[in-house]
């Protein structure tokens, strides 16, 4: 029987190694798996490379990991979201490496990892500082840069409802990076508001099919 | 000479959004435009975080913390609006499906280069968000910005001094003094505020300006 | 006001030029916009390059276009589906050019066009006849081929329900190529079973947002 | 010697599908495997046309023409099953999300090369479908095929004579005579039917065979 439910947050975040690449979903605080990231912090894991849109808000979740010095590097499109003081302190102290990636490229690079794509050409960042050092190519008279996939060792996501197979449904703009991150990691861990009976989610409206999900925990 | 207020600038840019257009409004000043869509036009506003058909801020008591725009302000959804994930949101942007991206800027060059993501201030960590994607992906990129900085430095320049968001992307610039088009023949003034002449505008602009034959006065109602 | 409804099939298919690249959705007959393709046949348009998974079934839809000699070339993954006699006759008579593309590559090439991707590397077809002549690259010890976007001048799709903004919902496995083809053409025309009041489709469950759709016709 | 029937071959392959596995069954013989999943195991069947959790053929009166598998046969959906579009279906395949693809074949080479898409018969137009995607994308590719052709020609060869679907992809082959693993050291016989010895199997196989130390008899119930 397929049952992806685990009993605790501690079990949900177990097995993440030091130095792991961690996909942290959310757009600011919306859709962020705060409780999972808080639980990850308690494991003592360190030297993490976190991939996220922002670099944490307030003192919890990703911000908490940064505050405790668990994050070696953050790959994001826009570090400063609402109340970014943990990020700012770590960055100014030179304790956090920052890699800025355009938001669409960030998302597409994770999708590439999810889809077995070894690299792809896009116009975004061509002819700019963020495109420097990347292979370029002129296609139909326009300049493109070659972008590489980003694969996570683990993805932490948040959904509204799930079933024991791991099928997920989100809520409004809290969907954001969750579906693409859920696809793009070796291990995908999801916190959900509610787990419903198998067969009670509408087959037409599931956004993330369970094939992408490894662990579910109700928060 | 009476420069437009920020709300008047937003009003002016909003007048050019056509019925049925799919539009992304950049964070800050451009976001104001949604308040000034002429009656009878349906504009579908896109947000990078997975919304088409975004509506205005919620009324008190109707806020939903899971419904925010790219600037992380609470918003609403119009009938016909839909949600999707980030990857589809950027497919729309990068694949040329948006009619207009209306963005803020630090600088615009006479070739339409846009600089709006970093001033390279070492005390201010950089962040690009979706700016580069919007600049290369939207069918038409327009900029809404004050004509000069607080220090009086022209924003419309021969070359951008800040790092580029994208080269050759801006088609039109709305400022508090003028409406300007970036053309192959350079920057063309379409509209100027009352009591301003080309010489006066040129003095506030680094790029060389040409006056359109059919130029008009830029005026906006009190909004 | 946004209203993508047109009054007739003839209006829906108008403006397609000779030689156009036409994305024809469906997997066999399921999800195929048969009535739109029948109406296209009546316009007399010719020299079409059709992109589809199969090369038509029976005598209607894509098969009918092939039967009438309107299709110069077909790009598909598997031409022979149920009752492929129109394809077989044209192919054997040397009247139809055939390009075989792996099914996932076919889909991904259209998505690339939809997403502003100028090219992408995949393992599929590397080291095979279908990969010959393509640029190759070794990535992490494995061979990849570079694939190009396929963009349609027009896409013909089929959905179950729509609203006047062009938001679409499909039915079961009739979804198949419809969402990707709807995104990948200059002009997207969709036949639907029913058009409902704006706002009555659930915003969480729309599969194809109206931004990708140009014309709707009820069949 | 008694070769397995086609249904027995499918039964044998089905025994190796583990509880919780995500599996794509190729068109034809592999499709039969879904009838023989051992009790108590939940296997999630994937179909290229956008289904996970595919169930058996519908009972009479319950057919839905919009619910077909990749072979275009009518099927059903199990509780927990979901629909998605073609692009996501192939993202699952190509991105390494399927545990097993169980495919038919014309030929398999001793290096695990697979040929299953064209015989280059000029009277028979080619078609590849999703075969190449499955061959490169699934975590494990297994083949289910009769040991020799109707004409008695071995299908397990030193080199494939037909155009490849993908090089170096097949891990295990189930035939009507044997279960074989493709390893770095060549093709290893894991199971053979009663009254067949390595010599007898080698005579029907072009690739050189080695017998596993722990080889067993291949047997299947009457199914």
Instruction: Verify whether the Cβ–Cβ distance B87 to A111 is below 8 Å.
Output: yes
The model scores a pTM over 0.90:
yes
Complex-level ipTM: 0.97
pLDDT tier for residue D124 given thresholds of 50, 70 and 90: confident
Closest CA of chain C from B2, distance in Å? 35
- Alpha-carbon span A188 to A8, nearest angstrom: 15
Quickly name the fold that domain B6-218 has. Glutaconate Coenzyme A-transferase (3.40.1080)
- Provide the b/e sequence for C191-219 (b: ≥16 CB within 10 Å): bbeebeebbebebbbbbbbbbbbbbbbeb
Do the Cβ atoms of A149 and A117 come closer than 8 Å?
yes
Q: Are strands A152-162 and A185-195 parallel, antiparallel or unpaired?
A: parallel
Give the residue carrying structure tokens 């499955």. D134
pLDDT tier for residue D22 given thresholds of 50, 70 and 90: very high
Tokens of D162: 């037909």
Q: What is the pLDDT of residues C56-111, one digit of tens each?
A: 999 999 999 999 999 999 999 999 988 999 999 999 999 999 999 999 999 999 99
Please choose, from the candidates D2, D3, D43, the residue with its C-alpha nearest in 3D space to the C-alpha of residue D148.
D3
Cβ-based burial of B106 (10 A; exposed 0-12, middle 13-18, buried ≥19): buried
D159: number of Cβ within 10 Å: 13
Instruction: Verify whether the Cβ–Cβ distance B94 to C115 is below 8 Å.
Output: yes
Helix (H) or strand (E) holding D19: none
Do the Cβ atoms of C43 and C72 come closer than 8 Å?
no
A contacts of B48 (beta carbons < 8 Å): 103
Do the Cβ atoms of A103 and B89 come closer than 8 Å?
no
Q: What integer pLDDT is reported at residue D159 of this predicted model? A: 98
- Name the DSSP letter for residue D68: B
- Name the DSSP letter for residue D163: P
- Name the DSSP letter for residue C207: S
Do the Cβ atoms of D191 and D218 come closer than 8 Å?
yes
D contacts of C180 (beta carbons < 8 Å): 85-87
CB contact, 8 Å: D87 with chain C?
yes
- Alpha-carbon span C179 to C165, nearest angstrom: 16
Question: Who contacts C198 (Cβ-Cβ below 8 Å, separation ≥6)?
Answer: B79, B80, C163, C164, C165
A contacts of B47 (beta carbons < 8 Å): 173
The neighbouring-strand residues paired with B43 are: none
Question: Who contacts C81 (Cβ-Cβ below 8 Å, separation ≥6)?
Answer: C28, C29, C54, C55, C56, C57, D72
Residue D61 has pLDDT above 90, yes or no: yes
Q: Are strands D107-109 and D156-157 parallel, antiparallel or unpaired?
A: parallel
Instruction: Verify whether the Cβ–Cβ distance C178 to D85 is below 8 Å.
Output: yes
- Alpha-carbon span D136 to A152, nearest angstrom: 21
- Alpha-carbon span C144 to A56, nearest angstrom: 37
SS3 label, residue B37: coil
Cβ-based burial of D184 (10 A; exposed 0-12, middle 13-18, buried ≥19): exposed
CB contact, 8 Å: B20 with chain C?
yes
Residue B1 has pLDDT above 90, yes or no: no
CA distances from A197 to A132, C120, D38 (A): 50, 40, 24
The pLDDT mean for chain A works out to: 97
Tokens of B64: 């939903």
pLDDT tier for residue A116 given thresholds of 50, 70 and 90: very high
Using only the alpha carbons of chain C, give its radius of gyration: 17
Q: What is the pLDDT of residues D127-176, one digit of tens each?
A: 999 999 999 999 999 999 999 999 999 999 999 999 999 999 999 999 99
Quickly name the fold that domain A17-100+152-218 has. Glutaconate Coenzyme A-transferase (3.40.1080)
Alpha-helical (H) ranges within chain A are 9-12, 34-42, 62-67, 85-92, 103-115, 178-183
- Alpha-carbon span C209 to B121, nearest angstrom: 40
Q: What integer pLDDT is reported at residue D102 of this predicted model? A: 98
Closest CA of chain C from A107, distance in Å? 12
Q: What integer pLDDT is reported at residue A74 of this predicted model? A: 98
Question: Who contacts C208 (Cβ-Cβ below 8 Å, separation ≥6)?
Answer: C159, C166, C167, C168, C170, C178, C179, C182, C183
Question: Who contacts C101 (Cβ-Cβ below 8 Å, separation ≥6)?
Answer: C75, C76, C77, C109, C130, D128
Instruction: Verify whether the Cβ–Cβ distance C199 to B20 is below 8 Å.
Output: no
Give the DSSP per-residue string, D74-127: B-EEEEEEEE--HHHHHHHHHTT--SEEEE--SEEETT--EE-S----TTS---
Angle, CA C114 vertex, CA C14 and CA A178 arms, to 5°: 135
Residues of A with CB under 8 A from a CB of C: 108, 112, 115-124, 137, 139-140, 142, 144, 169-172, 202-205
Kindly state the average pLDDT of the residues A154-179. Answer: 98
Residue D1 has pLDDT above 90, yes or no: no
Residue boundaries of the structural domains of chain B: 6-218
Q: What integer pLDDT is reported at residue D122 of this predicted model? A: 83
Kindly state the average pLDDT of the residues A179-184. Answer: 98
- Alpha-carbon span D31 to D23, nearest angstrom: 11
Residue B123 has pLDDT above 90, yes or no: no
Question: Who contacts C117 (Cβ-Cβ below 8 Å, separation ≥6)?
Answer: A108, A120, A121, A122, B94, C111, C149
CB contact, 8 Å: A27 with chain D?
no
Q: What is the pLDDT of residues C95-104, one digit of tens each?
A: 999 999 999 9
Question: Who contacts D39 (Cβ-Cβ below 8 Å, separation ≥6)?
Answer: none
Residue D123 has pLDDT above 90, yes or no: no
Q: For the CA atoms of B96, B100, B106, B109, what is the dihedral angle to 10 degrees? A: 70
Q: What is the pLDDT of residues D163-201, one digit of tens each?
A: 999 999 999 999 999 999 999 999 999 999 999 999 999
Phi-psi region of A28 (alpha: psi -120 to 50; beta: other; left: phi over 0): left
Among candidate residues D18, D42, D48, D195, the one labeled active-site is D48
Catalogue the active-site residues of B.
Answer: 48
A contacts of D137 (beta carbons < 8 Å): 116
Kindly state the average pLDDT of the residues B163-178. Answer: 98
Chains B and C touch (3+ CB pairs under 8 A): yes
Give the residue carrying structure tokens 């469950």. C205
CB contact, 8 Å: D162 with chain C?
no
- Alpha-carbon span C138 to A37, nearest angstrom: 36
Do the Cβ atoms of D125 and C91 come closer than 8 Å?
yes
CB contact, 8 Å: C14 with chain D?
no
What spatial distance separates the first Cα and last Cα of chain A, rounded to whole Å? Answer: 23
- Name the DSSP letter for residue D28: T
């Amino acid at each position: 029987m397929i049952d992806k439910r685990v009993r605790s947050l501690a079990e949900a975040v177990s097995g993440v190694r030091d130095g792991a690449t961690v996909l942290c979903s959310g757009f600011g605080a919306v859709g962020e798996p705060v409780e999972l990231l808080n639980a990850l912090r308690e494991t003592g894991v360190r030297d993490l490379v976190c991939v996220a849109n922002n670099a944490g808000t307030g003192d919890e979740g990703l911000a908490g990991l940064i505050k405790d010095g668990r994050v070696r590097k953050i790959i994001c499109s826009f570090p400063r979201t609402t109340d970014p003081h943990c990020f700012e302190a770590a960055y100014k102290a030179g304790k956090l490496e920052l890699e800025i990636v355009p938001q669409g490229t960030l998302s597409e690079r994770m999708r590439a990892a999810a889809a077995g794509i070894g690299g792809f050409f896009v116009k975004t960042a061509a002819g700019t500082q963020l495109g420097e050092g990347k292979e370029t190519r002129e296609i139909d008279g326009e300049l493109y840069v070659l972008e590489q996939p980003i694969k996570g060792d683990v993805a932490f996501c948040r959904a509204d409802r799930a079933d024991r197979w791991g099928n997920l449904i989100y809520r409004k703009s809290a969907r954001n990076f969750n579906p693409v991150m859920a696809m793009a990691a070796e291990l995908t861990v999801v916190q959900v508001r509610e787990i419903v009976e198998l067969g009670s989610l509408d087959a037409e409206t599931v956004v993330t099919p369970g094939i992408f999900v490894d662990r579910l925990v109700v928060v | 000479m009476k420069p437009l207020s920020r709300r008047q600038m937003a009003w002016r840019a909003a007048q050019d959004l056509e019925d049925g257009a799919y539009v992304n409004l950049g964070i800050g000043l451009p976001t104001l435009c949604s308040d000034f869509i002429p009656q009878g036009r349906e504009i579908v506003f896109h947000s990078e975080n997975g919304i088409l058909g975004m509506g205005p801020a919620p009324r008190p008591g109707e806020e939903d913390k899971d419904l925010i725009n790219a600037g992380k302000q609470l918003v609403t959804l119009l009938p016909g609006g839909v949600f999707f994930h980030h990857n589809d949101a950027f497919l729309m942007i990068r694949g040329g499906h948006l009619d207009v991206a209306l963005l803020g800027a630090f600088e615009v060059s006479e070739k339409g280069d846009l600089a709006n993501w970093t001033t390279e201030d070492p005390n201010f960590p950089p962040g690009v968000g979706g700016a580069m994607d919007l600049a290369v992906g939207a069918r038409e990129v327009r900029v809404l910005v004050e004509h000069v900085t607080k220090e009086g430095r022209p924003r419309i320049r021969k070359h951008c001094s800040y790092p580029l968001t994208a080269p050759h992307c801006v088609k039109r610039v709305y400022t508090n003094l003028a409406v300007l088009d970036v053309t192959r023949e350079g920057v063309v003034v379409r509209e100027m505020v009352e009591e301003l002449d080309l010489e006066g505008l040129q003095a506030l602009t680094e790029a060389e300006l040409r006056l359109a034959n059919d130029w008009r006065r830029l005026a906006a109602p009190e909004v």
